[in-house]
């Protein structure tokens, strides 16, 4: 049997996938399962995108592209960032990737030396740690709090930066909390990292799903960031495996070289289809769906309070609620399992996102239709009433 690399012992298991498999098995056995677990929009690509895919396929546009992606798509992404997020960027800085995962893989390959430490907040999306480990680095989770909106702060960077630290990986809005970093606080954090000659990888995957303020890219504060984004969340194209990087000019040739070896190119037909995402008809659909997500959030927050599930920080983006279930007398693992087996609702225990708040916090996704969320709240109400009974 081949001897595995030592780093494989440190890779985190994404528990939500195990929960997803368990829920699927129950569903296959005839149970009615409401998913508040996996972070996948219930919406799919709108008709113009599907039509564009069909045209590209029929036209034979399925060969390899340049490693950085087709020029029209890079130009469309750059224009979108300027109009939607206030960041004027040259299309040459956009690298089209095989999903946000491909973008993170390329960024870590380019920036993370063996043994290098990268600071992240606890809680964080668990797969991010694995990309750092895969590049030979060491993720270092820094416990955050509700007072900090569960985000990394400038003071955290000052306190925890050491000789091995090379940069930070942050997300705004965040998975699992749905919280954003305030613009002035983000500016201070970025400045502290820059003063230490470090890098900032900024996950803006959920930036388009912002609800309480006009979204601005971190690029409006610092032009030397490495931005991660994706067609999976705001554009509802999860299985199309398409994302992008925005990098400083000085990194373009390096990323292009690495991408040409690691992935050759992002899926070609998906690239041609994604051009239709930026047509007015598609953008109108995405905005209508963004408002639908906001309505779901606005229904669930007061409903959770009535159930006794405390939400320490109001989420202002993404489609997650990070809730404290300790009032039920159960830890998050027990709560998650009993919730699934006794009510048919799948939701993720906090252990997936770091140890700091693992025992008491749960992540609930509202990437499912409002009537199903209403049914979920009704089931939880009856279940919790019975337990307290």
Q: What is the CATH number of the domain that holds 199?
A: 3.40.640.10
Q: Quick one: CA torsion of 366, 21, 206, 140, rounded to 10 degrees?
A: 120
- Strands 199-203 and 165-171, sheet pairing: parallel
Residue 34 lies in a domain: yes
Looking at residue 209, what is its pLDDT?
Answer: 98
Q: At what angle do helices 280-307 and 370-388 cross, to 10 degrees?
A: 10
Q: Is 164 found in the same domain as 177?
A: yes
Residue 1 lies in a domain: no
Residue 214 lies in a domain: yes
With vertex at residue 152, the alpha carbon angle to CA 146 and CA 156, rounded to the nearest 5 degrees, is 105
Instruction: Report how many helices (DSSP H) and strands (DSSP E) the chain contains, helices first.
Output: 12, 12
345: DSSP letter: E
CA quadruple 184, 165, 225, 228: dihedral sign: negative
Q: Is 238 found in the same domain as 323?
A: no
Residue 335 lies in a domain: yes
CATH number, position 318 = 3.90.1150.10
Q: Is 353 found in the same domain as 239?
A: no
Reference 245, options 227, 264, 261; nearest CA is 227
Q: Is 299 found in the same domain as 215?
A: no
H-run or E-run covering 141: strand 138-143
Looking at residue 67, what is its pLDDT?
Answer: 97
Query: Count of domains in the chain?
Result: 2
Domain span at 289: 6-44+282-388
pLDDT < 50: residue spans in the chain:
none
- Strands 348-349 and 361-365, sheet pairing: antiparallel
Q: Is 346 found in the same domain as 292?
A: yes
Q: Is 317 found in the same domain as 274?
A: no
Each residue's pLDDT tens digit, 251-298? 999 999 999 999 999 999 999 999 999 999 999 999 999 999 999 999
| Residue where one domain finishes, among candidates 278, 295, 318 | 278
Q: Is 366 found in the same domain as 270?
A: no
Residue 173 preceded by cis peptide, ω within 30: yes
Q: Is 306 found in the same domain as 191?
A: no
CA quadruple 335, 384, 36, 210: dihedral sign: negative
| Residue where one domain finishes, among candidates 239, 256, 278 | 278
Q: Is 225 found in the same domain as 144?
A: yes
Where does residue 137 rank: exposed (0-12), middle (13-18), buried (19+ CB within 10 A)?
buried
Residue 332 lies in a domain: yes
Each residue's pLDDT tens digit, 48-103? 999 999 999 999 999 999 999 999 999 999 999 999 999 999 999 999 999 999 99
Q: Is 264 found in the same domain as 382?
A: no
Residue 20 lies in a domain: yes
pTM recorded for the entire structure = 0.94
Looking at residue 98, what is its pLDDT?
Answer: 97
How many C-beta atoms surround the C-beta of residue 330 within 10 A?
Answer: 18
| Residue where one domain finishes, among candidates 247, 278, 309 | 278
Q: Is 147 found in the same domain as 118?
A: yes
Q: Is 22 found in the same domain as 81?
A: no
Residue 23 lies in a domain: yes
Reference 179, options 201, 157, 155, 147; nearest CA is 147
- Strands 117-122 and 34-35, sheet pairing: unpaired
Looking at residue 317, what is its pLDDT?
Answer: 98
CA quadruple 107, 352, 177, 207: dihedral sign: positive
């Amino acid at each position: 049997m081949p001897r595995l690399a030592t780093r494989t012992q440190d890779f985190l298991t994404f528990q939500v996938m195990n929960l997803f498999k368990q829920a699927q098995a129950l569903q296959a056995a005839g149970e009615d399962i409401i998913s508040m677990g996996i972070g996948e929009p219930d919406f799919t690509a709108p008709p113009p995108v599907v039509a564009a895919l069909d045209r590209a396929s029929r036209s034979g546009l399925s060969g390899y592209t340049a490693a950085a992606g087709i020029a029209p798509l890079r130009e469309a992404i750059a224009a979108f960032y300027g109009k939607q997020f206030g960041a004027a960027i040259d299309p040459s800085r956009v690298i089209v990737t095989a999903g946000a995962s491909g973008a993170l893989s390329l960024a870590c390959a380019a920036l993370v030396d063996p043994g290098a430490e990268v600071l992240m907040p606890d809680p964080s999306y668990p797969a991010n740690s694995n990309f750092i480990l895969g590049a030979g680095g060491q993720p270092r989770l820094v416990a955050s709090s509700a007072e900090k909106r569960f985000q990394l702060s400038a003071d955290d960077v000052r306190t925890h930066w050491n000789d091995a630290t090379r940069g930070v990986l942050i997300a705004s809005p965040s998975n699992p909390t749905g919280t954003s970093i305030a613009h002035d606080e983000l500016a201070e954090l970025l400045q502290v990292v820059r003063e230490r000659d470090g890098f900032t990888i900024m996950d803006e995957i959920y930036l388009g799903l912002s609800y309480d303020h006009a979204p601005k890219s971190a690029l409006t504060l610092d032009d030397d960031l490495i931005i991660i984004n994706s067609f999976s969340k705001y554009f509802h194209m999860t299985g199309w495996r398409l994302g992008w990087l925005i990098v400083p000019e000085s990194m373009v040739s390096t990323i292009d070289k690495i991408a040409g070896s690691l992935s050759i190119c992002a899926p070609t037909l998906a690239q041609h289809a994604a051009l239709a995402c930026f047509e007015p008809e598609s953008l109108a659909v995405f905005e209508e769906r963004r408002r639908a997500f906001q309505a779901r959030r606005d229904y669930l927050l007061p409903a959770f309070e009535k159930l006794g599930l405390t939400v320490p920080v109001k989420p202002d983006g993404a489609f997650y609620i990070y809730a404290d279930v300790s009032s039920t007398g159960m830890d998050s693992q027990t709560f998650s399992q009993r919730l699934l087996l006794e009510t048919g609702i799948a939701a993720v225990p906090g252990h997936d996102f770091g140890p700091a708040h693992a025992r008491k916090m749960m992540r609930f996704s509202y990437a499912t239709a409002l009537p199903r969320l209403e049914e979920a709240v009704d089931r939880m109400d009856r279940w919790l009433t019975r337990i307290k009974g």
